[in-house]
Amino acid sequence: MTNLFQRFFQSVEAEVQYALDKKEQKNPAIMLNKYIKDAEKQVEETSKLLTRQAQLKTKLEQELAAATAMLTKRQQQLVLAEQSGETDLIAFASQEVAIYSNRQQTLQDSIELTASQYFDMERRYEEMKHKIKDMRVRQLQLMGKENVTRANHQMNYVLQEQADGAIQNFEQAERYIDQLTVDVDARQQQSMYEWRLAKLQQSESTVL
């Protein structure tokens, strides 16, 4: 029986939570806040990608420096090989110069492309940050409007509905006091008549 009740309450709790979740989904303010938070997370992810892109450019520049240094070395060695007339060294040095020349060009092209991509990402990243800042400002404006609307609603309730109720209570109290005054005056009048009648009766007894 206990397990049955536990399952019943768990089922009810789940249904209530589902209803609350659906209600929150229909609330534009809650959905707007969720959208902004999701956008902020995307901005954070973009920031990480920017950092990685900058690191990639740095590594490419390091590779370019190393390839350029080796190209210069092999070019100098090729000159010496040509002066020595040793064909196998000339062939090896020539092949190395060609490899490092191609690598240098490839790295330069990659660096230029990476730099261009980085600057484009950075520009769009700044746009995203400004967009989110604008959304936050508009959200604050909406919150201000919401506060004013709620405050006006509460004030209208106090100034109209509760004031009307208080006036009705004042009117009822006034009628009650008026009726009480009438009742007291009537009792006083009756007591006065009774006193005068008793006085007359006393005078009559004295004469007799």
Decide: 56 and 110 in contact? Cβ < 8 Å.
no
Give me 153's structure tokens: 């609603």
CATH of the domain at 30: 1.10.287
Residue 24 scores a pLDDT above 70: no
Q: Which of 96, 129, 147 is the last residue of a domain?
A: 147
Is 197's pLDDT higher than 90?
Answer: no
Q: How many CB atoms lie within 10 A of CB 121?
A: 16
Label residues 172-197 b or e (16+ Cβ within 10 Å = b).
eeeeeeeeeeeeeeeeeeeeeeeeee
pLDDT tens per residue, range 36-91: 888 888 888 888 888 999 999 999 999 999 999 999 999 999 999 999 888 999 99
Which of 147, 164, 199 is where one domain is finished?
147
Higher-pLDDT residue of 20, 202: 202
Closest C-alpha to 99, from 73, 127, 125? 73
Domain enclosing residue 114, as ranges: 2-147
Instruction: Check whether residue 108 and residue 80 sit in a common domain.
Output: yes
Position 68 scores a pLDDT of 95
The residue with greater pLDDT, 8 or 75, is 75
For residue 193, give both structure tokens. 């008549």
Q: Are residues 21 and 120 in the same domain?
A: yes
Q: Does one domain contain both 132 and 158?
A: no
pLDDT value, residue 85: 87
Q: What is the mean pLDDT of residues 154-162?
A: 68
Q: Furthest-apart CA pair in the chain: how many Å?
A: 178
Q: Which residues contact 77 (CB under 8 A, 6 or more apart)?
A: 89, 93, 96
Query: Which residue in 116, 102, 49 sits closest to 71, CA to CA?
Result: 102
Instruction: Say how many domains are in the chain.
Output: 2
Query: Does 5 score more than 50 pLDDT?
Result: no
Identity (one letter) of the amino acid at 69?
A
Question: Is there a contact between 54 and 118 (Cβ–Cβ < 8 Å)?
Answer: yes
Rounded Cα distance, 150 and 143, in Å: 10
**92 contact partners, CB below 8 Å, separation of at least 6:** 81
The Cα–Cα gap between 160 and 168 comes to 12
| Comparison of pLDDT for 72 and 179, the residue scoring more | 72
Please tell me what DSSP assigns to residue 85.
T
Q: Indicate the pLDDT class of residue 169, thresholds 50, 70 and 90.
A: low
Residue 156, pLDDT score = 74
Instruction: Tell whether 36 and 116 lie within a shared domain.
Output: yes
pTM check: above 0.75: no
Task: Check whether residue 133 and residue 190 sit in a common domain.
Answer: no
Domain match, 202 and 123 both: no
